[in-house]
């Protein structure tokens, strides 16, 4: 079936460090891929998305590229800030089900 696997957290980085959060997926067909972010005490917000192979989604300095050959959608940021501390969720949407499938989330903590 369709599924999403993320690297386990928590991930702890110093400010200005490079961030990678790995995400791989299993799906039939051509899903759309998303990264959502959840700040403490809040609901999820869409961070970026990609709807077809080789698309790059970007927002707020974060980037992720839809790699069909490796079934991956890794999230990257060149220089993290304390304000990026949050839980990040990778998700896929497949048309047949009409639903989002979420990974388990990766907690990021950025220290000054």
**SS3 of 21, please?**
strand
CA 34 from chain center: how many Å? 6
17/87 with CB nearer other proteins: 87
Shortest Cβ distance from residue 29 to other proteins (Å)? 12
Kindly tell me which of 98 and 112 has the beta carbon lying closer to other proteins: 98
**CA 71, CA 15: separation in Å to the nearest integer?**
30
What stretches of the chain show up as alpha helix (H) in DSSP?
A: none
Point out which residues bind other proteins (CB under 8 A): 4, 31-32, 34, 36, 41-46, 49, 51-52, 89, 93, 95, 98-100, 102-105
């Amino acid at each position: 079936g369709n599924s999403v696997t993320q690297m386990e957290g928590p991930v702890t980085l110093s400010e200005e460090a490079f961030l990678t959060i790995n995400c791989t997926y299993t799906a039939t067909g051509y899903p759309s891929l998303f990264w959502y972010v959840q700040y403490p005490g809040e609901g999820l917000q869409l961070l970026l998305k990609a709807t077809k192979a080789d698309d790059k989604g970007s927002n707020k300095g974060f980037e992720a590229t839809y790699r069909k050959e490796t079934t991956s959608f890794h999230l990257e940021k060149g220089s993290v800030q304390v304000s990026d501390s949050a839980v990040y969720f990778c998700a896929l949407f497949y048309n047949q089900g009409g639903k989002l499938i979420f990974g388990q989330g990766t907690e990021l903590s950025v220290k000054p």
